[in-house]
Each structure stands twice: as C-alpha cells, then as structure tokens.
C-alpha cells in the first residue's frame, strides 16, 4: 500500500549553512494519526511547511504517491499555528464554506455543511461574525472547522490545542479519533497527543530523536526531557 | 503561470492603483500619473526596505543625536512596510490553500476578500504596535 505521505531525508534551512531540518523521514498511512512533539524552535512548523511544498526542502516528498503540487492541496486540510493567518472571509461561515465551494459544491450544499462543521466546533452562534471579532481560541476553532468541513483525506494540524480550553481540546481529540482521516499533528500538549495519535515522533535540533507507538514514547521520561517537551 | 514573488507582493498596491483609476473614472477625469506614482513609490519603498542596512543605521544614531527622531520614524515606516508584506504573503498563501482551484467557484471572491483582509489586518497590527510603543513610553 502506498503511504498517504512519505518524506525521505528532508533537509532545509532558512539560511545557507544553518539547517533547521537535518535528514527527516516521516511516513503516514491512510487512517493513521501521527504526532510530532518538540520544544519551541525544534522545527515542527518548518517541517509542516516543507511537507506542503511551501518551503523548498531537499529530499523527497510524496503526497498521495505523487509530487506535491497545488492539486494535492485539494485533498488536504491545514490548520496553521496562528489561526489569524487563515481566516479572511467576511464571516467564519464563509471561511468554512470556501473550501467546499472551491472543490465544486453548490452554495446550497456548501453552507449547511460549513455550518455543521462550525456547530461541531461549538461556533454555531458566531457563524455570521468575522474572525477578527472572535477570541483567539474561537479563531483556532473556526480554522479547525474550515479544515474539517471538506472532509479531506489528510489533515495537517499545527498546534491545534495551543489556544483551546481543556473541554475544547478534549472534544477535538474525540472528534479526530472518531474519523478515519489521516492526521499529522504537531503539539506540545502531551495529554492531547496521548489521547489522539497512534504514533509519536520527537523532534529536536532538526532530527527525529524517536518515533514509535504513542504510549511507548510517552512512557520514556528521559527521551521526552531530551526532546524538550517535559 | 508562475508570478514572480516581488510582483506578487506588489499585488495589493496594483489593486489599490486600479481602485484609484476607477474612482477617477467615476469622477469623470482620469489622471494617469496618480496610479503610476502610487506604484512607483511602493516599488521604491520595497527596494529601499530590502537594500538599506536599517538596523545598523539606527544603532549608529543614538538617542542623543539630532537625527534620532527621523531615524526612528524611518525605522517604524520600515516596520510597517514589512508588516504589510508579511501579511500579504500570509493571506495570499491561506487563500491558495483554502481555494486551490484557480478560477474555481469562490476563487475570485476569496481573492478579493483576502486582499481586503490585508488592509484590515495591517490596521489592527499598526494599532497594536502603537499601543505597545505607548506602553514603552516611545509614542507621543
Ligand atoms: N522565516 C524564518 N526565517 C528564519 N528563520 C526562521 C524562520 N521561521 C523559523 N525560523 C527558525 O527555524 C527554527 C524552527 O522554527 P519553527 O517555527 O519550525 O519551530 P517550532 O518547532 O514550530 O516552534 P514552536 O513550538 O515555537 O512553534 C527556529 O530556530 C526559528 O528561529
Ligand atoms: Mg511552530
């Protein structure tokens, strides 16, 4: 079976001679949820951007068995670390409906589905408001709703729980567990990762320190300390 | 179609210039110099921001110097320009991810919204920046 996502020996630096990622390999199969944990500046966001083809990394990246192009984005849902960067439509309902419309759904179909996604994120009452009028945590939930609405084959989530209160984080974990969407999730929230992902990779100094079943990795305190997440 | 990066950063300025022309056409007389100058100034600022070693200049001109206020003013101008560029880049990226089908349904409307959002967000960030400077006792 070809993996949904396969990256080999990714190397990338923003400046010449200062690599941020040093030979990273990751693989994600259909229906699998992979966590990436690491301290501030470990390179988690950089890794996601490379995987999306937004930064020119050396090495090979295959999404759905092909090279990354604009076309591959049609099958992916992305949530940026900073939710403000992602919501720009007149209302968050429009934000959530946009990916559906753009993928070919009629407005009469797209809006109810977008509304449903907002409801799941507990934002039904705010649907007609622009993101600028919402709290940071609400914006993150709106960005999550927009990413989840089209039911993509693959979700890339950058610190999805950083701004969420505990009940919202718990609900998100339940939601992700109840779908069969493959996810790659970066986070420092070990509790959330423990509930959500199957496998966990620890990223430190641009390398993968360890990668394995989540319970196994989380039980190794030394390793977590070395990775700067404990 | 690949659009060069610098040209893409100038896109909001081009839209603004076009907006000026439309306004003038509405008023009945078009002065073509106005949009041309708008674009020229934006391009010049873009080049200046890239080429001048601003941080070194500001450090050289200490708070005691007569040029300090001017240097600080230029520094802030540079700061706002970089905010404008960064916001533009980010919003356009988000728009590309949310609407990956170019010319597909909602693509054009979302592009327009994205560009409008750039201006709104730059204003918000400018306010926030000003508040931060006030708290630090720099603003007047
Ligand atoms: N635009 C940029 N230009 C230069 N260096 C950058 C840029 N963005 C990030 N970096 C550097 O790359 C490294 C990794 O940053 P990255 O944002 O990927 O970390 P992260 O693991 O996501 O951290 P956090 O937990 O804070 O989100 C950092 O050392 C940072 O200084
Ligand atoms: Mg990050």
ipTM value:
0.84
User: Same domain, yes or no, for B70 and B136?
Assistant: yes
Quote the ligand 1 centre to A40 CA distance (angstroms). 8
Interhelix angle A92-102/B107-135, nearest 10 degrees: 140
Per-residue pLDDT tens for B15-70?
A: 888 888 888 888 778 788 888 888 888 888 777 777 777 777 777 777 777 777 77
User: Same domain, yes or no, for B127 and B64?
Assistant: yes
**Cβ of A140 below 6 Å from ligand 1:** no
Provide the 10 A C-beta neighbour count for residue A132.
13
Instruction: Give me the mean pLDDT over the B83-105 stretch.
Output: 90
Confidence of residue A105 (pLDDT cuts 50, 70, 90): very high
Q: What is the pLDDT of residue B22?
A: 85
Per-residue pLDDT tens for B59-90?
A: 777 777 777 777 777 777 777 878 888 888 89
User: Same domain, yes or no, for B70 and B122?
Assistant: yes
User: Same domain, yes or no, for B122 and B95?
Assistant: yes
Q: What is the pLDDT of residue B50?
A: 72
**Statement: residue B3 has pLDDT above 70:** no
Quote the ligand 1 centre to A139 CA distance (angstroms). 22
Count chain A–chain B contacts defined by CB atoms under 8 A. 66
User: Same domain, yes or no, for A162 and A128?
Assistant: no
Instruction: State the total domains in chain A.
Output: 2
CA distance A223 to chain B (A): 35
Q: What is the 3-state secondary structure (H, E, C) of B18-51?
A: HHHHHHHHHHCCCCCHHHHHHHHHHHHHHHHHHH
Q: What is the pLDDT of residue B20?
A: 80
CA atoms within 13 A on the CB side of B27: 9
Q: What is the pLDDT of residue B23?
A: 82
User: Same domain, yes or no, for B139 and B115?
Assistant: yes
User: Same domain, yes or no, for A173 and A201?
Assistant: yes
CA A112 to chain CA mean position, Å: 24
Q: Is residue A81 part of a domain?
A: no
CB A229 within 8 A of CB A37: yes
Instruction: State the total domains in chain B.
Output: 2
Instruction: Give me the mean pLDDT over the A70-93 stretch.
Output: 92
DSSP string of chain A? Answer: ---SEEEEEEEE-SBTTB-SEEEEEEEE-TT-EEEEE--TTSSHHHHHHHHTTSS--EEEEEETTB---GGGGGGEEEE-SSGGGT--SSSHHHHHHHHHHHTT--HHHHHHHHHHHHHHTT-GGGTTS-GGGS-HHHHHHHHHHHHHTT--SEEEEESTTTT--HHHHHHHHHHHHHS--EEEEE-S-HHHHHHH-SEEEEEETTEEEEEEEHHHHHT-HHHHHHTT--
**Statement: residue B140 has pLDDT above 60:** no
User: Same domain, yes or no, for A11 and A34?
Assistant: yes
User: Same domain, yes or no, for B39 and B66?
Assistant: no
The whole-model pTM stands at 0.84
Q: From residue B16, give the alpha-carbon distance in Å to each of A99, A172, B32, B34.
A: 27, 41, 14, 11
Containing structural domain, residue B33: 1-51
Mutational test site, ligand 1, from A19, A37, A44, A162, max ligand atoms within 8 Å of CB: A44
**Statement: residue B1 has pLDDT above 50:** no
Q: Nearest residue of A to residue B113 by CA position?
A: A89
**Cβ of A14 below 6 Å from ligand 1:** yes
Q: Is residue A82 part of a domain?
A: no
In whole angstroms, what is the distance from residue B93 CA to residue B114 CA? Answer: 10
Per-residue pLDDT tens for A157-211?
A: 999 999 999 999 999 999 999 998 999 999 999 999 999 999 999 999 999 999 9
**Statement: residue A129 has pLDDT above 90:** yes
User: Same domain, yes or no, for B23 and B91?
Assistant: no
User: Same domain, yes or no, for A24 and A117?
Assistant: no
Q: Is residue A25 part of a domain?
A: yes
Percent of chain A with pLDDT over 90: 94
Quick one: which ligand is closest to A41's CA? 1
Q: Which of A51, A88, A145, A158 is the best residue to mutate to test the B interface, defined by the most B CB atoms within 10 Å of its own CB?
A: A88
Q: Look at ligand 1, atom 7, and give the residue with the nearest C-alpha.
A: A14
User: Same domain, yes or no, for B43 and B58?
Assistant: no
Of B9, B29, B51, which residue sits at a domain end? B51
Containing structural domain, residue A53: 1-75+154-230
User: Same domain, yes or no, for B23 and B63?
Assistant: no
**Cβ of A43 below 6 Å from ligand 1:** yes
Q: What is the pLDDT of residue B44?
A: 82
Average pLDDT, chain A: 95
Q: What is the pLDDT of residue A197?
A: 98
CB B83 within 8 A of CB B12: no
User: Same domain, yes or no, for B7 and B66?
Assistant: no
Mutational test site, ligand 1, from A20, A82, A184, A189, max ligand atoms within 8 Å of CB: A20
Confidence of residue B2 (pLDDT cuts 50, 70, 90): low
**Cβ of A45 below 6 Å from ligand 1:** yes
User: Same domain, yes or no, for B134 and B104?
Assistant: yes
Quote the ligand 2 centre to A60 CA distance (angstroms). 22
Instruction: Give me the mean pLDDT over the B93-111 stretch.
Output: 92
Q: Which two tokens stand for residue B39?
A: 């674009």
User: Same domain, yes or no, for A57 and A125?
Assistant: no
Percent of chain A with pLDDT over 70: 100
Q: Which of A212, A210, A211, A215 is nearest to A196 (CA)?
A: A215
Q: What is the CATH number of the domain that holds A192?
A: 3.40.50.300
Q: Which two tokens stand for residue A138?
A: 């609400």
């Amino acid at each position: 079976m070809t993996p949904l996502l396969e990256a080999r020996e990714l190397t990338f630096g923003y400046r010449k001679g200062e690599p941020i990622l040093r030979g990273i390999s990751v693989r994600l199969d259909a229906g699998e949820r992979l966590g990436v944990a690491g301290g501030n500046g470990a390179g988690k966001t950089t890794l996601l951007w490379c995987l999306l083809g937004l930064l020119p990394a050396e090495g090979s990246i295959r999404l759905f068995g092909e090279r990354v192009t604009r076309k591959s984005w049609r099958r992916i849902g992305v949530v940026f670390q900073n939710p403000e960067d992602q919501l720009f439509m007149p209302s968050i309902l429009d934000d959530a409906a946009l990916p559906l419309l753009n993928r070919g759904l009629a407005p009469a179909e797209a809006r109810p589905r977008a509304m449903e996604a907002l409801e799941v994120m507990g934002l039904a009452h705010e649907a007609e408001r622009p993101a600028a009028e919402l709290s940071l945590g609400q914006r993150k939930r709106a960005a999550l709703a927009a990413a989840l609405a089209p039911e993509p084959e693959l979700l890339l989530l950058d610190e999805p729980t950083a701004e969420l209160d505990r009940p919202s984080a718990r609900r998100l974990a339940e939601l992700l567990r109840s779908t069969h969407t493959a996810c790659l999730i970066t986070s420092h929230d070990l509790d959330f990762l423990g509930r959500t992902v199957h496998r966990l990779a620890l990223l430190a100094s641009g390398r993968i320190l360890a990668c394995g079943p989540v319970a196994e990795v989380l039980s190794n305190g030394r390793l977590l300390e070395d990775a700067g997440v404990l | 179609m690949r659009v060069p990066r610098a040209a893409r950063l100038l896109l909001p300025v081009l839209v603004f210039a076009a907006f000026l022309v439309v306004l003038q056409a509405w008023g009945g007389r078009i002065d073509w110099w106005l949009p041309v100058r708008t674009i020229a100034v934006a391009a010049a600022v873009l080049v200046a921001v890239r080429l001048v070693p601003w941080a070194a200049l500001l450090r050289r001109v200490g708070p005691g110097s007569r040029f300090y206020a001017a240097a600080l003013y230029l520094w802030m101008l540079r700061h706002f320009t970089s905010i404008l560029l960064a916001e533009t880049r980010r919003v356009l990226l988000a728009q590309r991810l949310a609407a990956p089908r170019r010319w597909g349904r909602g693509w054009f409307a979302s592009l327009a919204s994205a560009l409008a959002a750039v201006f709104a967000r730059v204003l918000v960030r400018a306010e926030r920046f000003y508040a931060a400077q006030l708290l630090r006792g720099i603003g007047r």
